[in-house]
Amino acid sequence: MILRDPVHGLVAFEAKEEAIIQTLLETRELQRLRRVQQLGLTSLAYPGATHARFSHAIGTAHVMARFIARIRAISTDLPKDQQLDPKRAQEGLAAALLHDIGHGPFSHLFEEAIPKGPSHEDWGTRIVMDPCTEVHQKLVAVDSELPARVCALIRGEHELRYLSGAVSGTFDVDRCDYLLRDAHFTGVNYGHFDLDWLLRSFCLSPTESAAITPGLAIDGSKGLPAIESFILARLFMFQQVYFHKASRCSDWLLARILERTQQLLVHGDAVAGVPRAVESLMKTNDAALLDYLQLDDAVMWTALEQFRHHKDPILADLSHRLLSRQLLKGFELFAEDATSEGAEHCRTIAEDLCKKAGLDPKYYVGLDRPTALAFDESKGALSVLFPQGETRRPSEVSFLLSRLLGQLLSRPRIIYPVEIRHELHKALSERPRNARAAEGTFAGGSFQMHSNEIKSPNGPGHMES
């Protein structure tokens, strides 16, 4: 099987163990991902960002195939039971291809808008394990244990630590593809990094005993710039794309549309056009798998078109704003305004102005606090291996990574309707200068020390795809 990909160029799956890729690509569950955009509503900010989860799945499998080739080249001295035999390689390829199969419409946004429902990881497990799905049937036809092993590997569980780290880790194959893919389709150059050199720099960490499977490491003599560029690419993508004001405001708007829809349904009001799975999720926090698999972006856009004509003025107005791209606005918060107390005060001002304009602040005003951890060594991080056999944590040998370790990138905003823009700017500009906010002038975001109150942004990923 040979494909042309705009990110990776020629993509070939020709080895015997790679036949599982073509087999799975033909299933209806994977084909559904053609109709789920990778970045949700980000195309409202970046018109080119219309790429689908399907192409990302193929790209991730391609990176896994390259990773497998690299590991085989450096693992010939390992005991046979620690090497990547065709069966384990097949598991890795299947896990890479299927890691996002549970995503609903608009990707991460859908599960964030209906937070009490199953996560996309939970849906992915159901899809792989349910005997009624074509994915399950194809996997079982190869090996009866393959569905369970693929699900475990997607969770980062495998007897080969280096393989589990490649599927779920700081430098996993998922991130390696989505950063390059998202950068390509948004036209943002900041997301590029040297994938070839990163893969070439992978090595295996030494262990205390031959019975212990090695983990992933990076060659300290030449690989450090590769992981630094990777971390910076991810950080820049959060700054420029995943936290983009128009994208965040459109995400927030869609979440309020679904919230209003749920409120109407719970109170017994009919809402024409609501997909069966969405109605079930809103009423019971769950849905039948076959109903869920009917959902995609097109189904939800069709529902939104019907919501536009609903008798409820709030639902109709919010839907009209999204469909016509008359989005809510975002007001960046800085200094004292960015603190919890300051942000709440700013929101109160916006809510009061919204009420005076005749709009319900519950649906038209919000405080958006997207955050991303710049660099984390607590889970799945690579060690850096030097020629003498000594290993170090990346933050111990990289000035850059030592500064980014544990830091949060934060972009707090007040979300508000355009009707109160002038009054809101006037009210906030009259506050003391050191507590003033400014809209549209902040290009990079701010760093804060790590806390336990991390709120997931919608990104690739997305907090992570």
Lowest mean pLDDT segment, chosen from 67-81, 196-210, 299-313: 196-210
Q: What is the pLDDT of residue 340?
A: 87
CB contact at 8 A, 135 and 101: yes
Q: What is the pLDDT of residue 170?
A: 80
Q: CA-CA distance, 164 to 172, in Å (whole number)?
A: 9
Q: What is the pLDDT of residue 260?
A: 96
DSSP states of 294-327: T--HHHHHHHHHHHTT-SSHHHHHHHHHHHTT--
Query: What is the token pair recorded at 414?
Result: 């007040």
Tens of pLDDT, residues 393-417: 999 999 999 999 999 999 999 999 9
Between 411 and 211, the more confident residue is: 411
CB contact at 8 A, 280 and 286: yes
Q: CA-CA distance, 151 to 195, in Å (whole number)?
A: 26
Between CA 419 and CA 421, with CA 420 as vertex, the angle to 5 degrees is 100
CB contact at 8 A, 204 and 217: yes
Lowest mean pLDDT segment, chosen from 59-68, 130-139, 242-251, 447-456: 447-456
Q: CA-CA distance, 167 to 247, in Å (whole number)?
A: 28
Give the confidence band of 450 by pLDDT, cuts at 50, 70, 90: very low
Q: Are strands 216-219 and 383-385 parallel, antiparallel or unpaired?
A: parallel
Q: CA-CA distance, 133 to 31, in Å (whole number)?
A: 12
Tens of pLDDT, residues 340-368: 888 999 999 999 999 999 999 999 999 99
Does 459 have pLDDT greater than 60?
no
Q: What share of the chain is helix, strand, coil (3-state, %, to 5)?
A: 55, 10, 35
Tens of pLDDT, residues 368-387: 999 999 998 876 678 899 98
- Neighbouring CB atoms inside 10 A of 246's CB total 17
Q: Distance from CA of residue 62 to its chain's centroid?
A: 19
Give the confidence band of 215 by pLDDT, cuts at 50, 70, 90: confident
Q: What is the pLDDT of residue 264?
A: 96
Between 205 and 182, the more confident residue is: 182
* Nearest to 127, CA basis, from 222, 52, 210, 27: 27
Q: Domains in the chain, ordered, with CATH?
A: 2-209+221-226 (1.10.3210.10), 245-373+406-449 (1.20.1250.30)
Does 62 have pLDDT greater than 90?
yes
Does 448 have pLDDT greater than 60?
no
Average pLDDT, the chain: 89
* Nearest to 177, CA basis, from 29, 92, 53: 53
Calculate what percentage of the chain has a pLDDT beyond 90: 72
Q: What is the pLDDT of residue 445?
A: 58
Does 456 have pLDDT greater than 50?
no
Query: What is the token pair recorded at 385?
Result: 């291996």
Does 436 have pLDDT greater than 80?
no
Tens of pLDDT, residues 283-340: 999 999 999 999 999 999 999 999 999 999 999 999 999 999 999 999 999 888 888 8
Give the confidence band of 440 by pLDDT, cuts at 50, 70, 90: very low
Q: CA-CA distance, 198 to 179, in Å (whole number)?
A: 14
User: What is the C-alpha radius of gyration for the chain, rounded to an integer number of angstroms?
Assistant: 23
Q: CA-CA distance, 90 to 19, in Å (whole number)?
A: 9
Tell me what the mean pLDDT of segment 146-175 comes to. 91
Q: What is the pLDDT of residue 434?
A: 52
Give the confidence band of 429 by pLDDT, cuts at 50, 70, 90: confident
Which residues, 6+ apart, have CB-to-CB distance to 325 below 8 Å?
44
Query: What is the token pair recorded at 265?
Result: 């349904």
Does 463 have pLDDT greater than 60?
no
Does 447 have pLDDT greater than 60?
no
Lowest mean pLDDT segment, chosen from 19-23, 377-381, 459-463: 459-463
Q: What is the pLDDT of residue 455?
A: 41
